[in-house]
Amino acid sequence: MIGEEGEQLGVVSRFEAQNKADEAGLDLVLMSPNSNPPVCKLMDYGKYKFDTLKKEKEMRKNQKISEIKEIQLSMRIDDYHINFKLKNAQKILQDGDKVKVSLRMRGREQAYSNNAVEIVKKFVTDLADYGFIEKEPVIMGKNVSVVINPKKA
């Protein structure tokens, strides 16, 4: 049996342990039932449960959930628009979120899928200071896409 402050109270019967808990106005909590003899602790179970919930809530509050934000390009994109989208991607990566860069090919553009991959690779190399790619650009049907992870600060 373990006391309220963590001190060892020795091996006692279950009846005697429950009496000590009632005298102190505390709960008798079974900590490890499989050990020989089983270990019990005197504690205020309501306070213990409240403290554990509070710690879990604090842990969840400190957790950063990263989102994936998409930036769409096209085969005929102009340099001005690429620079504009680069600035947006840099802001997203600095905030700690992932960026999915996708380029949709329409009509005859599908015959020049190599050019589409080059456009996406150039975009990714311009973002090399802010993030790194998970894997090389992939052609899926009419789309070329790649996901960029932010670099750790």
Render each residue's pLDDT in the chain as its tens digit; 153 residues. Answer: 898 888 898 899 889 999 999 998 999 998 888 888 889 999 999 999 999 999 999 888 877 777 899 999 998 888 899 999 999 999 999 988 899 999 999 988 888 888 899 999 999 999 989 989 888 888 888 999 999 999 876
Q: Assess whether 86 and 107 both reside in one domain.
A: yes
Is the distance from CB of 43 to CB of 4 less than 8 angstroms? yes
CA atoms of 131 and 14, how far apart (whole Å):
60
Q: Assess whether 52 and 36 both reside in one domain.
A: yes
Instruction: State which H helix or E strand residue 133 sits in.
Output: strand 131-133
Domain count, the chain: 2
Q: Assess whether 77 and 44 both reside in one domain.
A: no
Q: Assess whether 39 and 99 both reside in one domain.
A: no
- Token code pair at residue 149: 């992870």
**Domain-located, residue 2:** no
Neighbours of 137 (CB within 10 A): 20
pLDDT score for 5 = 86
Q: Assess whether 136 and 84 both reside in one domain.
A: yes
**Domain-located, residue 6:** no
CATH of the domain at 127: 3.30.110.10
pLDDT score for 6 = 85
Residue 150, beta-bridge partner list = 131
Domain that holds residue 54: 14-61
CA atoms of 31 and 39, how far apart (whole Å):
6
pLDDT score for 62 = 78
Q: Assess whether 90 and 144 both reside in one domain.
A: yes
Q: Assess whether 18 and 87 both reside in one domain.
A: no
Q: Assess whether 97 and 45 both reside in one domain.
A: no
CA atoms of 100 and 114, how far apart (whole Å):
19
pLDDT score for 153 = 62
pLDDT score for 112 = 87
**Domain-located, residue 77:** yes
Q: Assess whether 107 and 124 both reside in one domain.
A: yes
Helix/strand/coil for 1: coil
